[in-house]
Structure 1
């Protein structure tokens, strides 16, 4: 792997080749290891965040009890199987849902299409997030949609590149604007969205990995990216369109807030 070619690339052009070239490995974790609970029922209930909207219990948007519920369900319908030219619906649905679930409480905001500087292989590039949660100082959560609906793996290298870019950006802010010491390690929470189906990640970025990416060299120490793919009663391709799936995925999303 040390002999693989490394070249300066935008984060959106990263592939599995870059993961191998920088000694980055995806490790699937169980529900217990990732979230610290043994069963899905032990995950926190998100109903309180969505009771007013009726989102968690309404299958057809035409039966929505209010306009807000209708709009969120409309975004879900568009994001579930996005047509050509409507890929942005996945971003919009993720942003609306995360806002409703309280990911932007306090002074946090949720941005769509936030471009991050990304220095790699000695060159200034960029990594454009699809959705991110941030405050005045830090990137706190990354969301990357799957651009090839039939191949969910493609979004993983991109969101990992974005996490490294977030590490660079967060430390730049600490050092240059806040006059604080840089951090040698950050755990960046992230999600990929396969239509309306999220997969969850904890991406540990170290100074050693960042230095390797910046200089285009092979890091001796491997980086483990922890991933959890939710188990659902219906097919993954049904996403949140199915109410049983939706109920479980809302619990996952509620639980994931603890890492943000």
Structure 2
């Protein structure tokens, strides 16, 4: 194996180099293999969102919620990063992920400690934060506007940072630190 220098870098700057340097490998899994529960119910979602084309938002029969959501969907086609991030947050909210004591946050900087003293951050485009900053999910947009395709490395950095943060929060509350944790990404 080649010798890779481990550098304290922001999660946004992680690339395949960092994955090799830290000997990190990953595998993709089909959703039904990763999530053991059945698909969430869409019963609480306005049916118009599920059946209306996004270009027909001036229909007075549509609810305000449907118009807002379909407007975001339409804007994501403009291929602007901010709309994709906002649309993702709106989708999580629409599906009820902002349940009691859980916040959907965008552009959240998760502290990342590397090599014991390298203080960096791993910015998550969207994440779910439960109670006192316990991160449950991190999303990094796959930037289709750039030629770099390092989103896998960046989401892994954010998941590592979330694990560090969550384990540290447990220790702050005199609980055992985590050995492992599944962080949806």
> Could you say which TM-score interval applies, normalised by the shorter chain?
0.7 to 0.9
Which residue in 1 is equivalent to 2:169? 173
Which residue in 2 is equivalent to 1:154? 150
Which residue in 1 is equivalent to 2:97? 103
Q: What does 1:37-48 align with in structure 2 at a 5 Å threshold?
A: 43-44=38-39, 46-48=41-43
Which segment is superposed worse, 27-36 or 67-76? 27-36
> How high is the TM-score relative to the length of structure 2?
0.87
Distance of 2:56 and 2:151 partners within structure 1: 29
Instruction: Give yes or no for contact 2:42–2:95 (8 Å, CA) kept in 1.
Output: no
Distance of 1:165 and 1:31 partners within structure 2: 23
Tell me the SS of whatever aligns to 2:101: coil
Structure 1 alignment gaps of length 5 or more:
38-42, 191-260
Judging changes above 3 Å, is the alpha-carbon distance between structure 1 residues 126 and 164 closer, same or farther for their aligned structure 2 residues?
same
- Render the CA deviation track for 1:192-231: whole Å, top value 9, x for unaligned: xxxxxxxxxxxxxxxxxxxxxxxxxxxxxxxxxxxxxxxx
Instruction: Give yes or no for contact 1:148–1:154 (8 Å, CA) kept in 2.
Output: no
* Higher normalized helix content (fraction of residues): 1
Q: What does 1:225-244 align with in structure 2 at a 5 Å threshold?
A: none
Higher normalized contact order (CA 8 Å, seq sep 6+, divided by chain length)? 1
Which residue in 2 is equivalent to 1:120? 114
Judging changes above 3 Å, is the alpha-carbon distance between structure 1 residues 45 and 15 closer, same or farther for their aligned structure 2 residues?
same
Alignment length (residue pairs): 180
Query: Aligned pair 1:188/2:183, yes or no?
Result: yes
Tell me the SS of whatever aligns to 2:50: coil
Query: Aligned pair 1:69/2:77, yes or no?
Result: no
Q: CA RMSD in A?
A: 2.2
* Higher normalized strand content (fraction of residues): 1
Tell me the SS of whatever aligns to 1:50: coil
Structure 2 alignment gaps of length 5 or more:
none
> How high is the TM-score relative to the length of structure 1?
0.63
